[in-house]
Amino acid sequence: MKHKIRKTATILIGCSLIMGSGTAWSASSGETAPGLSLNEDLAVAERIGLWERGRDESTFLSGEISRGQFVKLVVQALDLAGRRDFPADRPFSDVSGDSLEGWFINRAYKEGLVSGYPDGTFRPERPILKQEAAVILAKALSLPGKEAEFSDVSGNTVFSPFIGAVTERGVLEPESPGRFGFGKTVTGRQAVILALRVYNALPFELMEATIPQMQAAMETGKLTSEQLVKMYLDRIAAYDQQGPKINAMLAINSHALETARQLDAERKKNGPRGPLHGIPIVLKDNFNTKDMPTTGGSAVLRGFVPPDDAEVVKRLREAGAVILGKTNLHEFALSGTTVSSLGGQTKNPYDLTRTPGGSSGGTGAAVASNFAAAGTGTDTVNSIRSPSSANSLVGIRPTKGLVSLDGVIPVSFTQDAAGPIARTVEDASILLEVMAGPSFSGQHAGRWVNHLNPLGLRGKRIGVLQNFFGNGPEHVPVNRVLQQNIVELQKAGAVVIPVTIPGLDANQLISDYDVQRFELRPSLDRYFASLGPKAPVKSLKEWLSTGKYDKSIEGILKAAASYDTPLAEPEYQRRLAGIEQLRQKVLKVMDDNHLDVLVYPHQKRLVVPIGQSQVDRNGILGALTGFPAITVPGGFSEPSATAPIGVPVGIEFLGRPHSESVLLDIGYSFEQLTFHRRPPASTPPLQRK
């Protein structure tokens, strides 16, 4: 069955159409893209997310389309081509910022595509006229003006150069030879096809490309998965061990290009199998892969290939993902600076003197550097959200149990979670839906991505957790960013409420309740046993005896090995009871204040320099409670000699159990209204060959 590519934002076919007094334009020829029939064009537009069929499909296609609807279609086409801008602050008196259509109109104004009437209105409900469409199309494609030569177009009209530009380029056909169709209206069918032409006329750009943009490029023939894989491999070759030497990758999948070719053939024959069809991703090297070594970054497992894929890896492959390679991590995910005995130290691409966070820092540095579309991480205390914060990325720690940990090197069965790391909330949502798979059932199943709302912050009640902000001079850069973020949340329509949870301190939570040292030994012993007779070591104690590990994790290994029956320790039982009390305490504060989420900086200070231990992170709250959390780009510190655009700062939202849909809406809305993410200067675009 063909998989319908996720819609970035779809036009609502069921909405009422305001019929104008003009006559609908009817071209005598060429309503479709070259080489395609009308129905094929509409099908392509639907697959890439420009429109969505509905019960009033025939009315929409044959009826006149409004100015607001036409603008929305064109802006969606620009989105799919990688062009985006901030929405303007309500430039028109009759366009509400509370509506999705209004949000698109305001964006079009900011991008210079539209202007209003002299009285300050836009009149979005009026049918769009053909000459108005010509202006928007010409501006969207940055076409040079050319005076029109049609009997119904006056040479001194302001529309003439735009009409001439789009007709010469074949973007918009005249009504008939010699006549443009000035004053005629545009139908929904014509508008969809015109939006598709805008998209087709723009090139695919690899840098910062999103998964929907890649899918649209492959669906329309701009790109193949094989070409996409080659582009990313070229970037890895240029920047991972050369140039800035980011050192994010532990291994490259030698089968990646062949897999991409197979998926290209499959797409051509059957259509995409899933939302990740042909999309290159990277895996943190603690996810088992049956065709590549899985080492946890440790020299003790050098070259070892597990017998099976992790459950999450199976789901990613079934959805069509191309596993591009495995990334470095803090060895066995046991600390937060991303150094390992096998991979060495990974650098932060924004400041090569700093760590990339961790333990999933290899994935974070790789995705930030545009080495892949997205990647996977695991999180026992901070380890998905820390590299996301430090690399201007989106990281999701889902509700405990939402994503399978089968086949993932474990640390703590109480605190472990697996989740996505990506450049956008939408991409992270796509990965999360695939990773969660059938384990996520109920009313939200399969609904996250399709319901992302750029206006999702409106009316949300957000508690600013005062306990999780620092008050020293080292905390000033992060506090400055978060203060601005709070203003942005309020501007987006959120209700922001300062809250304090008595006695809550991130460092104290780790000291009092963290259970890693009690659960590590039984967890690893079971994992080593699952690898079969060829496993290089059979237990944590045996691994410890080899000395094949980075010295930064020696303390936790020895502490874990010191317990004969760790799960029977009274201190372990006390900590479990304390964790449950913590859950109830957090929920009570959220209930008492009627909060949707809590918000705070993921890390109170900038991510630490290489050689220092990671400090002042707040991820422990989500790790202990098992509540879902999302970290999104909040901005940057001031630029410096080593950080030319500054060091990234992440803002973290924590929700109630199984509130992923709320968190994603909030994260998406914040992202779409701020666009704080920027790529690092150390890994710029490669010159085209």
Q: Are strands 344-345 and 461-465 parallel, antiparallel or unpaired?
A: unpaired
Catalytic site residue from 160, 298, 341, 359: 359
218, 278 Cβ separation under 8 angstroms: yes
Active site residue 383: yes
Residues in a beta bridge with 344: 340
Question: 415: Cβ–Cβ under 8 A, 6 or more apart, which residues?
Answer: 380, 381, 514, 515, 516, 519, 623, 624
Q: What interhelical angle do 67-80 and 211-219 show, nearest 10?
A: 90
- The per-residue DSSP string of 237-304 comes to HHHTSSTT----EEEE-TTHHHHHHHHHHHHHHH--SSTTTT-EEEEETTB--TTS---TT-GGGTT-
- Which string of b and e fits 654-674 if b means at least 16 CB within 10 Å? bbbebbbbbbbbbbbbbbbbb
Active site residue 359: yes
How far apart are the C-alpha atoms of 84 and 103, rounded to whole Å? 13
Residues in a beta bridge with 375: 282, 421
How far apart are the C-alpha atoms of 174 and 189, rounded to whole Å? 16
628 burial via Cβ count (<10 Å: 0-12, 13-18, 19+):
buried
Question: Which residue in 459, 454, 531 sits closest to 496, CA to CA?
Answer: 459
Residues in a beta bridge with 249: 327
Residue type, 321: A
Residue type, 400: K
Catalytic site residue from 335, 383, 392, 429: 383
637, 646 Cβ separation under 8 angstroms: yes
Catalytic site residue from 72, 184, 284, 460: 284
Active site residue 585: no
Residue type, 383: S
Angle at the Cα of 402 (from 398 to 404), degrees rounded to 5?
Answer: 110
Question: Which residue in 126, 121, 104 sits closest to 113, CA to CA?
Answer: 104
Alpha helices in 150-221 (DSSP H): 160-168, 188-201, 211-219
Would you please indicate which residues are annotated as catalytic (active-site) residues? 284, 359, 383
